[in-house]
Amino acid sequence: MKTIETCISPDLLDLHELANKTVIVVDIFRASSTMVTALSNGVNVIVPVKDLDECKAYKKKGWLIAGERNGKQAEGFDLGNSPLAYLDRALAGQNVAMTTTNGTRAISLAREHAAEVLIGSFLNLQATVDYLQASTNDVLVLCAGWKGKFNLEDSLYAGALSWTLGWKHECDATLAMESIYEQVNGGLREYLQKASHAKRLQNHDLEKDIDFCLELNQYNSVVYLSEEGLKNKNNK
Amino acid sequence: MKTIETCISPDLLDLHELANKTVIVVDIFRASSTMVTALSNGVNVIVPVKDLDECKAYKKKGWLIAGERNGKQAEGFDLGNSPLAYLDRALAGQNVAMTTTNGTRAISLAREHAAEVLIGSFLNLQATVDYLQASTNDVLVLCAGWKGKFNLEDSLYAGALSWTLGWKHECDATLAMESIYEQVNGGLREYLQKASHAKRLQNHDLEKDIDFCLELNQYNSVVYLSEEGLKNKNNK
């Protein structure tokens, strides 16, 4: 019997055993949603990097660079952190280096010890579920959180994933978030309006991004961490 | 406007500002429930200590010592960790030294920086709420958790407390747990049967303890940390 557990903050990851597990990193607003959208719209590879300076180095190699500060595209960058920039295959075939605050840290923590690292979002929930059902690995959802703290949208993704997988488990964090996902019953947007991060984004006029990040199953992609960076298993 | 926030693990406490706050330490199964029960039944003072050896030193001073290992009263100890031992003022007037695994650590972390430390349980929820309403301090609920991880019963107490206080706040962990408390709608016992810690206690035939720890508002006590140890504000 395969199991699922949830780590609600990267700061708690050392309490969890990662060996032989598939770790799904999730940062719903907006890094992981943007990664899934980009790779579902033909972007070739995404390298998540720590800061703006590290990102800029990729520019010289002909890559697109994505980064933002205070809700706006950073100066000298090609893209901000909005998933909407990648729609309609606008950037198909490109390589992208992307800075994220909470997401990058979670990814680099996970890659050290896990058997496999995936990137999760509501946009490709069912595709990820199908992939996990077919795998023999146990699963750990790693919520990027907000500056080390619990956040509602990433944890709720863990509940959605577990609820959809339907596996038995004994992880209290997963149980709690499954309860909420069941209670929300499709009304993700309405529920997450109360979340602190959604409020921060609303202050930056980013409602369209929020709405998009909370749409279920728009893409049939499975996004994973390869030697070169993040890729879509469905891309050749 | 006063605020409430929840820290779901002692391992995340350094992300929170404690100055001028009332910190409520909660370890529902069973340390904080036992402390509230004891002090509501006339016990004079409880000193929470780290381990069995430190606890034994109090025996020489004529104190009762409480401790357990693997669900049973530790050898040479007067009491285990069951709240039921203190009912009907069986131990009124006594001083007690008590070992707890997760609870003691949370209490000593909180006492360093907080304005005030209280001990929370479902058994004295309303009394604690009334006290907090009358105070000018902001509130932080510190869940003792289970070996650093999120646990369902302590977090659910945070939801119950916040829901009963009715304060506005922007803490995602508190929001999540309020949702569950609302959904559970009085059926704490049924909901928490799924919790990992409740299952561990059931394996030790401690169902009566679980049932007792989940009863609401049995006592009108406010339990706080004084220079001498834990005391009940209503005791003279």
What is the per-residue pLDDT across A51-86, written as a single tens digit (0 to 9) for each?
A: 899 999 999 999 999 998 777 889 999 999 999 999
Q: How confident is the model at residue B218 (pLDDT cuts 50, 70, 90)?
A: very high
Q: What is the pLDDT of residue A130?
A: 98
**Chain A contact for B222 (CB, 8 A cutoff):** no
Residue A178 reports pLDDT greater than 90 = yes
A146 at interface of B, judged by CB pairs closer than 8 A: yes
CB of A199 less than 8 A from some CB of B:
yes
Contact between chains at B149 and A176 (C-beta distance less than 8 A): no
User: A11 vs B15: CB contact, 8 Å cut-off?
Assistant: yes
If one counts the domains in chain B, the total is 1
Residue A235: inside a domain, yes or no?
Answer: no
Residue A6 reports pLDDT greater than 70: yes
ipTM: 0.93
Residue A233 domain-assigned (yes or no): no
Residue A207 domain-assigned? yes
Instruction: Return all residues near B224 (Cβ < 8 A) that are at least 6 apart.
Output: B116, B117, B118, B119, B230, B231, B233
Average pLDDT over residues B137-151: 95
State the pLDDT at residue B102: 81
pLDDT reading at A28 higher than 80: yes
* Cross-chain residue pair A176–B147, CB shorter than 8 Å: no
pLDDT of A127 over the 80 cut: yes
Question: Is A163 a residue whose pLDDT tops 90?
Answer: yes
Partners of B196 on chain A (C-beta within 8 Å) are: 170-172
Percentage of chain B exceeding pLDDT 90:
81
Residue B212 belongs to domain with CATH number: 3.90.1560.10
CB contact under 8 A, B195 and A175: yes
Q: Look at residue A191 and tell me if it is in a domain.
A: yes
pLDDT of residue B103: 85
Residue A205 near chain B (CB below 8 Å): no
Mean pLDDT check: name the lowest of B44-58, B85-99, B108-122, B197-211. B197-211
- Residue B154: pLDDT over 70: yes
Inter-chain touch A196–B12, beta carbons under 8 Å = no
Q: What is the DSSP string of chain A?
A: ---EEEES-GGGGGGS--TTEEEEEE-TTTHHHHHHHHHHTT--EEEEESSHHHHHHHHTTT-EEE-EETTEEPTT-SB-S-GGGGGGGTTTT-EEEEE-SHHHHHHHHHHHH-SEEEEE-GGGHHHHHHHHHHS-SEEEEEE-TBTTB--HHHHHHHHHHHHHHT-----HHHHHHHHHHHHHTT-HHHHHTTSHHHHHHHHTT-HHHHHHHT--------EEE-SSSEEETT--
- Domain assignment of residue B99, yes or no: yes
pLDDT band of residue A236 (cuts 50, 70, 90) is low
Q: Which positions in chain A touch B172 (Cβ < 8 Å)?
A: 146, 149-152, 155, 195-197
- Distances from the Cα of B30 to the Cα of B39, B72, B87, B111, angstroms: 14, 13, 15, 20
* pLDDT above 90 (res A195): no
In this prediction, residue B2 has a pLDDT band, given cuts at 50, 70 and 90, of very high
Q: What is the pLDDT of residues B62-118, one digit of tens each?
A: 999 999 877 788 999 999 999 999 999 999 999 999 998 788 889 999 999 999 999
- Indicate whether B236 belongs to any domain: no
**B168 Cα to chain A: minimum distance (Å):** 11
Residue B235 lies in a domain: no
Residues 165-194 of B with CB under 8 A from A: 170-173, 175-177, 179-180, 183, 191, 194
Task: Choose, out of A150, A182, A203, the residue to mutate when testing the contact with B (most B CBs < 10 Å).
Answer: A150
In this predicted structure, the answer to whether residue A145 has a pLDDT above a threshold of 80 is yes
Question: Taking CB atoms and an 8 Å cutoff, what residues of chain B touch A149?
Answer: 12, 15, 172-173
- Residue B203 pLDDT greater than 80, yes or no: no
For chain B, what is the mean pLDDT? 94
Question: pLDDT-derived band of residue A205, with 50, 70 and 90 as boundaries?
Answer: confident
pLDDT value at B195 more than 90: no
B171 interaction partners in chain A (CB closer than 8 Å) = 196
Q: What is the pLDDT of residues B176-187, one digit of tens each?
A: 999 999 999 889
Per-residue pLDDT tens digits for A98-109: 998 788 889 999
Query: What is the tens place of the pLDDT at every residue in B161-176?
Result: 999 999 989 899 999 9
Question: How much of chain B, in percent, has pLDDT values that exceed 70?
Answer: 100
* C-beta atoms of B176 and A180 within 8 A: yes
pLDDT at site A182 = 94
**pLDDT score of B5:** 97
Chain A contact for B28, CB < 8 A? Answer: no
Q: Can you give the pLDDT at residue B56?
A: 93
Q: Nearest C-alpha of chain B: how many angstroms from A40?
A: 30
Q: What is the percent of chain A where pLDDT is above 90?
A: 82
- Are the C-beta atoms of residues A79 and A85 closer than 8 Å to each other? yes
- List the domain range (segments joined by +) for residue A73: 4-227
Answer yes or no: is A153 within a domain: yes
Mean pLDDT value across residues A155-183: 96
User: What pLDDT is recorded for position B20?
Assistant: 96
Q: What is the pLDDT of residue B236?
A: 62
Mean of the pLDDT values across residues A117-140? 98
